[in-house]
């Protein structure tokens, strides 16, 4: 019996047992996305050509709730159109479990969630679901939650291994962190929201032959929001300490954003981010570059992903000053966001001379249109104007003059079945 047949059979069994279930929902998401990449993530070379493709997420969500128990199963197929032959008997990647968790409520305040789940907090700068990625991001974790009035507390724990081993492995676990513990506390007042985060992650590495060691990295800080009539703002401050691959770590991050609603449909905001880094001629073994870890980094520092999206880590850091213009009505939404990037630490040329700190300017234009409640069309165009300093940071020579990126996505999210009468 195929995996898909098992899922369908399970659905019918649960539906027929509806006399017991209080709520059961089945939702489908189909999300094809076209991308034109002409210098995406890194400047294109003069000898390279732009590329284009269509990627698709197909995700089936099953949700169940009964008295004190809530459970969710989410399976997905991620593919690039054409990565499997038209006569293929199986997809290239096959079905994968995105979420599979159960949540039990001890009482109205305390609950626990076990299984593969999305861990998303605040503006997702440190921990997020990375929904832009077709595969998203989820964790195998245990969660203890407390909720009362305007206060929230989450305590999370995770232990990862590569298999059900009989003896300790002699090779390091490198797929993800080895262990993780965190505490997130949030409280809302009338106009102000305050979050505190402490995150401890342990990464395994091979110190010497047959000698595995786990280094622990601590990320801690606060995220503050403010909203009053036409004004809203947020501020974030985080530090990182501990060790990474036997080296001491000391890094920090700061951000601020202030937005004003000029009219109900149009707003303008100014923002700034600072991520610490290290001079390229700094011989100190201490790591000084901040890493956003599990953040939804695509949403920050420009949509072309030149920084901190699988790259630019343990580097010279980043300063990002940006303007955000938003327009929206019932069906349309537009955003124009120019960024100016600078390096907060020294970048050296091939002769060892310090280069200008200016990295480049990126302009992001996005738009979305709600066709109906379960169909949304969105798209965007981004242009980055790189500098020789950025090309040096990216280790690129003979870069092309124009680097840009365009995309168009359609999201279908129909509800296939629900026992909820509301």
Q: What is the pLDDT of residues 346-362, one digit of tens each?
A: 999 999 999 999 999 99
Distance of alpha carbon 411 from alpha carbon 371, whole angstroms? 10
CB 236 within 8 A of CB 243: no
Distance of alpha carbon 318 from alpha carbon 276, whole angstroms? 7
What pLDDT is stored for residue 92 in this prediction? 86
Q: Is 345 helix (H, G, I), strand (E, B) or coil?
A: coil
Domain assignment present for residue 194? The answer is: no
Pull the structure tokens for residue 201. 């992650």
End-to-end CA distance of the chain: 36
What pLDDT is stored for residue 94 in this prediction? 84
What pLDDT is stored for residue 12 in this prediction? 55
Q: Any residues with CB less than 8 A from the CB of 232 and at least 6 apart, and which?
A: 225, 226, 258, 259, 261
Domain assignment present for residue 422? The answer is: yes
Domain assignment present for residue 65? The answer is: yes
User: What DSSP line would sit under 265-291, residue for residue?
Assistant: TEEEEEEEEEE----TT----SB----
Q: Any residues with CB less than 8 A from the CB of 174 and at least 6 apart, and which?
A: 204
Which residues does residue 101 pair with via DSSP β-bridges, in sequence order? 72, 115
Domain assignment present for residue 341? The answer is: yes
Q: Any residues with CB less than 8 A from the CB of 338 and at least 6 apart, and which?
A: 322, 323, 361, 362, 363, 364
User: What DSSP line would sit under 299-312, residue for residue?
Assistant: GSS-TT--SSSSSS
Distance of alpha carbon 381 from alpha carbon 379, whole angstroms? 7
What pLDDT is stored for residue 156 in this prediction? 98
Domain assignment present for residue 32? The answer is: yes
What pLDDT is stored for residue 21 in this prediction? 47
What pLDDT is stored for residue 19 in this prediction? 46
Domain assignment present for residue 407? The answer is: yes
What is the dihedral angle through the alpha carbons of 222, 181, 122, 190, rounded to the nearest 10 degrees? -60
Domain assignment present for residue 251? The answer is: no
Count of structural domains within the chain: 1
Domain that holds residue 88: 1-105+301-422
Domain assignment present for residue 48? The answer is: yes
Mark the ranges of the chain whose per-residue pLDDT is less than 50: 19, 21
């Amino acid at each position: 019996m195929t995996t898909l047949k098992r899922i369908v059979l399970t659905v019918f069994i649960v539906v027929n047992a509806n006399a017991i279930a209080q709520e059961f929902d089945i939702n489908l998401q189909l999300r094809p996305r076209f991308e034109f990449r002409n210098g995406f993530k890194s400047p294109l070379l003069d000898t390279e050509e732009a590329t284009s493709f269509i990627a698709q997420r197909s995700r089936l969500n099953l949700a169940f709730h009964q008295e004190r128990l809530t459970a969710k199963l989410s399976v997905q197929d991620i593919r690039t159109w054409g990565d499997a032959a038209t006569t293929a008997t199986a997809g290239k990647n096959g079905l994968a479990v995105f979420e599979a968790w159960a949540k039990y409520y001890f009482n109205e305040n305390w609950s626990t969630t076990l299984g593969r789940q999305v861990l998303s907090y605040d503006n997702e700068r440190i921990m997020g679901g990375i929904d832009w990625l077709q595969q998203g991001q989820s964790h195998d974790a245990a969660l203890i939650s407390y909720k009362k009035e305007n206060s929230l507390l989450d305590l999370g724990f995770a232990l990862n291994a590569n298999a059900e081993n009989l003896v300790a492995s002699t090779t390091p676990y490198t797929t993800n962190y080895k262990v993780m513990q965190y505490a997130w506390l949030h409280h809302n007042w009338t106009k102000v929201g305050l979050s505190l985060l402490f995150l401890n992650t342990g990464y395994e590495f091979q110190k010497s032959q047959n000698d595995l060691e786990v280094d622990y990295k601590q990320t801690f800080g606060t995220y503050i929001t403010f909203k009053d009539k036409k004004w809203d703002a947020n501020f974030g401050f985080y530090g990182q300490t501990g060790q990474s691959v036997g080296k001491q770590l000391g890094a920090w991050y700061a951000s601020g954003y202030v937005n004003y609603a000029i009219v109900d449909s149009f707003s303008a905001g100014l923002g700034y981010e600072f991520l610490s880094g290290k001079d390229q001629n700094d011989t100190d073994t201490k790591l000084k570059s901040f890493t956003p870890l599990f953040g939804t980094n695509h949403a920050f520092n420009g949509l072309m992903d030149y920084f901190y999206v699988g790259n630019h880590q343990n580097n010279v850091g980043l300063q990002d000053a940006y303007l955000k213009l938003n327009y929206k009505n019932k069906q349309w939404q537009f955003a124009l966001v120019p960024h100016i990037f600078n390096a907060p630490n020294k970048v050296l040329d091939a002769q060892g001379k310090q280069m200008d700190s200016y990295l480049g300017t990126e302009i992001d234009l996005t738009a979305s249109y709600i066709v109906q409640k379960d169909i949304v069309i969105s798209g965007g165009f981004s242009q980055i104007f790189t500098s020789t300093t950025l090309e040096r940071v990216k280790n690129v020579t003979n870069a092309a003059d124009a680097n840009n990126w365009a995309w168009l996505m359609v999201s279908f999210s129909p509800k296939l079945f629900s026992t909820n009468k509301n």
